């Protein structure tokens, strides 16, 4: 089987804001296929440590193979790499407080998940309705679609998908049950809510997004990471977060504002960093990516801020 095409989004900007230094300790909370992490590893060097999280064991297996090839290339300059096949919300359970120089999270769905039909993430490839990043636990998309109350379905499609026609779509889903494949669901949604004139996205895009967010508790995961990130970073440690839709970005933006007001972090990105036109052409998935970065302040910075406020 050929290796899936994987182009990490905003790679140069990520490396710049993480400010990776030789001998540092960095967490990639969303390893995926290792696109960002392999470049981070090259900058950490042999004295560094890279800690990787991903609840998708299939993606982690492919990333491990990538790191084996990288280790052969770097030799003694390869950092220690630790893999945790678990959700990034659990990082605080295995990482010591105040031990990290950097933490990266890319909240996007990986190329592997989107491109493999049997994972059930995309309406572009017919396959079983699953959408679970960790297929060993939790409700599948098929269970959500076929078992949830119509009003609950409508609310989650509206809230997580920003879909104005959510009630019409939920009603159509309930009438069409049972639905077991991505193609079936896409047809039902498209029939209930045909393309809007001028819109370039597929009419099922928002519904699929909403169900995926619910299945994987994606917003809850982000809240958990944000609540623990401050305690995991050293003073001077950097946090870089890449969001792909407004719900994710709002959580990050609000957390950064709260930390800035509490003088515990310096926000390094006044506005979210987005891909340049060349990257968008090369990698269309980068079009919706937004990067925000912040640095944890040390005692000296905090004292200076307090003095300026007096």
| Chain segment 33-82, per-residue pLDDT in tens | 999 999 999 999 999 999 999 999 889 999 999 999 999 999 999 999 99
CA nearest neighbour of 304 among 228, 231, 235: 235
Percent of the chain's residues with pLDDT above 90: 80
Question: What is residue 122's predicted lDDT score, i.e. its pLDDT?
Answer: 79
Place 170 in a pLDDT band, splitting at 50, 70 and 90: very high
Residue with tokens 């499609």: 157
pLDDT band at 113 (very low <50, low <70, confident <90, very high): low
| pLDDT at position 120 | 64
Distance CA 118, CA 218 (A): 20
Please give the structure tokens belonging to residue 210.
Answer: 């909403």
Q: Hey, what are 224's tokens?
A: 């958990």
Q: Residue 275 in contact with residue 212, Cβ under 8 Å?
A: no
Q: Which of 28-32, 210-214, 254-258, 300-304 is predicted least confidently?
A: 300-304
Structure tokens at 154: 């409508």
Looking at the chain, the whole-number percentage of residues with pLDDT higher than 70 is 91
Which of the four pLDDT bands, split at 50, 70 and 90, describes residue 124? confident
pLDDT at 1: 39
Average pLDDT, the chain: 91
Which token pair is 170? 């939920």
**Residue 270 clears pLDDT 50, i.e. is over it:** yes
- Please give the domain boundaries of the chain with CATH numbers for all domains: 11-112+218-309 (3.40.50.150), 114-216 (1.10.150.170)
Q: Cα 84 vs. chain centroid, distance in angstroms? A: 16
- Mean of pLDDT values over 256-279: 94
The predicted pLDDT at position 3 comes to: 47
The end-to-end CA distance of the chain, in Å, is: 64
Name the residue with higher pLDDT: 151 or 134.
151
Distances (CA, A) of 56 to 41, 112, 129, 161, 266: 21, 10, 16, 23, 32
Question: Which pLDDT band, with edges at 50, 70 and 90, does 200 fall under?
Answer: confident
Residues 103-125 as b/e (b if ≥16 CB within 10 A, e otherwise) read: bbbbbbbbbbbbebbebbbbbee
pLDDT at 119: 74
Q: Which helix (H) or strand (E) holds 107?
A: none
pLDDT of 286 > 50? The answer is: yes
Q: Mean pLDDT over residues 83-104, rounded?
A: 96
Per-residue pLDDT band for 114 (boundaries 50, 70, 90) equals low
Q: What is the pLDDT of residue 22?
A: 98
- Rounded to 10 deg, the angle between the 218-232 and 246-261 helix axes is 30
If you average pLDDT over residues 177-203, what whole number do you get?
91
- Cα–Cα distance for residue pair 16/28, rounded to 1 Å: 15
Across 181-187, average pLDDT: 95
User: For 15-25, how does the pLDDT look when each residue is reduced to its tens digit (9 = 90+)?
Assistant: 999 999 999 99
Contact 212, 247 (CB under 8 A): no
């Amino acid at each position: 089987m050929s290796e899936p095409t994987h182009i990490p989004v905003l790679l140069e900007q990520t490396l710049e804001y993480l400010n990776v230094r030789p001998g540092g300790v960095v967490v990639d909370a969303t390893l995926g296929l290792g696109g960002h992490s392999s470049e981070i590893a090259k900058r950490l060097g042999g004295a560094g440590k890279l800690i990787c999280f991903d609840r998708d064991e299939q993606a982690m297996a492919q990333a491990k193979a990538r790191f084996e090839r990288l280790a052969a290339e770097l030799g003694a300059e390869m950092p220690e790499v630790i893999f945790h096949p678990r959700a990034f919300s659990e990082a605080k359970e295995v990482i010591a407080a105040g031990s990290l120089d950097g933490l990266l999270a890319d909240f996007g769905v990986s190329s592997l998940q989107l491109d493999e039909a049997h994972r059930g993430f995309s309406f572009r490839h017919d396959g079983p309705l699953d959408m679970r990043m960790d297929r060993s636990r939790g409700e599948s998309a098929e269970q959500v679609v076929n078992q949830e109350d119509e009003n609950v379905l409508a609310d989650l499609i509206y809230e997580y998908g920003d879909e104005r026609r959510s009630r019409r779509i939920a009603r159509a889903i309930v009438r069409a049950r049972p639905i077991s494949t991505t193609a079936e669901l896409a047809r039902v949604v498209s029939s209930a809510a045909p393309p809007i004139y001028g819109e370039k996205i597929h009419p099922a895009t928002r519904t699929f997004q909403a169900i995926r967010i619910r299945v994987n508790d994606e917003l809850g995961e982000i809240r958990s990471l944000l609540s623990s990130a401050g305690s995991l970073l050293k003073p001077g440690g950097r946090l870089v977060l890449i969001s792909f839709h407004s719900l994710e970005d709002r959580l990050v933006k609000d957390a950064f504002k709260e930390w800035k007001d509490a003088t515990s972090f310096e926000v390094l990105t006044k506005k979210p960093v987005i891909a340049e036109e060349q990257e968008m052409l090369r990698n269309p998935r980068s079009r919706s990516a937004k990067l925000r970065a912040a640095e944890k302040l040390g005692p000296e910075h905090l004292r200076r801020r307090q003095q300026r406020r007096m």
